[in-house]
Amino acid sequence: MTENVWTRWPSREALGREGVSQPRRLVARAVRLMVLGMLLWGAVSIAPGHRGGAVGAVVGILVAALIAWALFRTTHDHRLWPSLALITVLLGIAVAAQAAGFPVPALVIWCGCAVTALERLPLAAALPVSSVALASYAGFNDDSWLSTATTAAGLALAGYVLRLDAEARANAQRLLAQERAARAAEAETAALAERARIAREIHDVLAHSLSAQLVHLEAARLLIERGADRDQILERVVAARGMAREGLAETRQALSALRGELTPLEDFLARLVGTADGAEVTITGERRPLPAEASQAVRRVAQEALTNVRKHAPGAKVRVRLDYAEQQVTLDVRDSGGAPGELTASGGGYGLLGMRERAELLGGSLAAGPGKEGFVVTLKVPV
């Protein structure tokens, strides 16, 4: 439900000083001090011959200034009845000043009340107050009726323009606050996304490497308990050491990736295939740098696929093909099949499930399943 425009207060941002430039504040203060000084000087200069009249005029002007300051505070707090009471007191002071022979302060107070009411009060209350103040100004002003009417209309217009200007400034402040909040939320989201990416990299590398080491070390423990010969135990320990070495290399590679220091993808695949017997790699399409996330997805899937071949079909021939298309890059890893290896039941670390999730986060897909001869893993990532 839309708030009634007649009963709606100007926002606290509009009535406050926030968002007002320093030069504008200085000008406003200078104008107020100048008006106050002129009123005090005028009160003293046209006061009756005795000193008491001048003192009373000065006291009245200072009291009016204090009440005006209190009016600004009550309107800022959206307190209607105290604000109306203070304006009524100011109008009364103006009437008393006019009756005592001080027309200039009276006219200034009436004009100020009219402008302030239109600027700072709900319109339903501002219009009657402004009408009373401007009617009093017109009734006691000695100028021609046309000049008086023009001045009154200008004062009413000035008050409403000040109201619109303050609301525009308040809206700008709110938009600025919303923009800052949006930027803070965006920065927080980016930080969370970066943390998630680092977590995935650590999980991909360490979970696989440590689980493979654990399998070999557990096998070595069982061999020791069964009294196996030294060579069998040494073989398991050497295999665990090899896994640790590979895990360390992959960790360094992951840290380089996080720093944006990725080696070319083709070199990485060639080096990865070089560590596996009977594996070959083929690159098709126009080679080009890939985004960091897409490049990491291809690297991790290739590592996981070759690891699965070593575990589930040791000795099988592996064909790795990387195809650069216009809209996506495709990684295809196929093996020729073979007898299950000793590590088949050791689990897959992060596994193809994690690789599939990584691909889906990038808007791609991962398919894994039996092929004509062995097992096929196909990754498609949009670039």
pLDDT at 3 over 60: no
The predicted model gives 185-198 an average pLDDT of 79
- Residue 44's pLDDT is 67
- Residue 345's pLDDT is 46
Q: Which CATH architecture has domain 263-383?
A: 2-Layer Sandwich (3.30)
Does an H or E element contain 322, and which? strand 318-324
Q: How far apart are CA 185 and CA 182, in angstroms?
A: 5
- What tokens were used for 225? 């308990």
Own/partner contacts of 84-92, CB < 8 Å, gap of 24 or more, are 84/125, 84/129, 87/113, 87/116, 87/117, 87/129, 90/64, 91/132, 91/133, 91/136
Buried b (16+ CB within 10 A) or exposed e, 149-174: eebbeebbeebbebbeebeebbeebe
pLDDT band at 19 (very low <50, low <70, confident <90, very high): low
> Which sequence spans correspond to the domains of the chain?
12-142, 174-261, 263-383
Q: What digits encode the pLDDT tens for the residues 278-325?
A: 678 889 988 888 887 788 888 888 888 887 887 777 778 888 999 999
pLDDT at 276 over 70: no
* 7 phi/psi in degrees, rounded to 5: -105, 0
pLDDT band at 349 (very low <50, low <70, confident <90, very high): very low
Q: How far apart are CA 351 and CA 39, in angstroms?
A: 85
Give 30 or 82, the one with higher predicted confidence: 82
Specify the 3-state DSSP secondary structure of 115.
helix
Determine whether 269 is exposed, middle or buried from the number of CB atoms within 10 Å of its CB (0-12, 13-18, 19+).
Answer: buried
Does an H or E element contain 173, and which? helix 145-202
pLDDT band at 343 (very low <50, low <70, confident <90, very high): very low
Q: Which residues contact 330 (CB under 8 A, 6 or more apart)?
A: 321, 322, 323, 378, 379, 380, 381
Q: How far apart are CA 77 and CA 33, in angstroms?
A: 24
Cβ-contact 116, 127 below 8 angstroms: no
- What tokens were used for 306? 């070759």
Q: What digits encode the pLDDT tens for the residues 31-78?
A: 777 877 777 776 666 545 555 566 777 788 888 889 989 998 999 888
Give 18 or 280, the one with higher predicted confidence: 280
DSSP string, 234-258: HHHHHHHHHHHHHHHHHHHHHHHHH
**Amino acid identity, position 235:** E
Q: What digits encode the pLDDT tens for the residues 121-152?
A: 998 999 999 999 999 888 888 778 888 888 88
pLDDT at 347 over 60: no
- Residue 2's pLDDT is 45
